[in-house]
Amino acid sequence: MSALLDSLAAGFDGDADRRAQLDALLQDGLPARAEAWKYTSLRALDRRHFGAAQAVTVDPALLADIPAPRLVFVNGRFDTTLSDLSGLPAGVDVQPLSRLLGGDDARAVNFLARRYARPDEPFARLNAALAREGAVVRVDAGVDAQAPLHLVSVGAPQDGDAAWHLRHFVELREGARLSLVEHERAAGEHAHLGNVLLHAHVAKTARLAHVRLQDAAPRATLFARTDAVLAREATYARTDLELGAALARHELNVRLEGDGAALQADGVLLADGRRHVDTRLGIDHIARDTRCGLTWRGLAGQRGRAVFHGGITIHAGADGAEADLSNKNLLLSTDAEIDTQPVLVIHADEVKAAHGATVGQLDPTALFYLRSRGLPEPQARALLTGAFCREVVGRIADAATRALCDAALDRALARLGA
SS (H, E, C) 40-64: CCCHHHHCCCCEECCCCCCCHHHHC
Percent helix, strand, coil in the chain, to 5, is 25, 40, 35
Q: Is residue 106 over pLDDT 70? A: yes
Task: For residues 130-149, give the mean pLDDT.
Answer: 97
The DSSP bridge partners found for residue 356 are: 326
For residues 321-354, one letter each, b for 16 or more C-beta atoms within 10 angstroms of the residue's C-beta and e for the rest, the string is: bbbbbbbbbbbbeeebbbbbbbebebebeebebe
Q: What mean pLDDT is predicted for residues 19-30?
A: 94
* C-alpha R_g of the chain: 21
Q: In Å, how far are 16, 157, 199 from 180, measured between CA atoms?
A: 34, 27, 13
What is the per-residue pLDDT for 32? Answer: 84
Among 216, 280, 249, 17, smallest CA distance to 130 is for 17
Q: What is the mean pLDDT of residues 294-301?
A: 96
Does pLDDT of 418 surpass 60?
no
**Portion of the chain with pLDDT greater than 90, in percent:** 86
Q: Are 289 and 257 in contact (CB under 8 A)?
A: no
pLDDT at 373: 77
Mean confidence (pLDDT) of the chain: 94
Q: Average the pLDDT over 66-80 and give the result.
A: 97
Assess whether pLDDT exceeds 90 at residue 367: no
- Amino acid identity of residue 53, one-letter, is A
Q: How confident is the model at residue 369 (pLDDT cuts 50, 70, 90)?
A: low
- Whether the pLDDT of residue 171 is over 60: the answer is yes
- Residue 248: its pLDDT value, please? 98
Task: Give the pLDDT mean for 146-166.
Answer: 96
Pairwise CA distance, residues 39 & 42, whole Å: 10
pLDDT tens track for 214-231: 999 999 999 999 999 999
Residue 270 identity (one-letter amino acid): L
pLDDT > 90? residue 181? yes
pTM over 0.85: yes
Whether the Cβ atoms of residue 4 and residue 161 lie closer than 8 Å to each other: no
Average pLDDT in the 173-190 region? 98
Residue 31, judged by CB atoms within 10 A of its CB (0-12, 13-18, 19+), counts as middle
β-bridge mates for residue 162, sequence order: 51
Confidence of residue 285 (pLDDT cuts 50, 70, 90): very high
CA gap 195, 191 in Å, rounded: 13
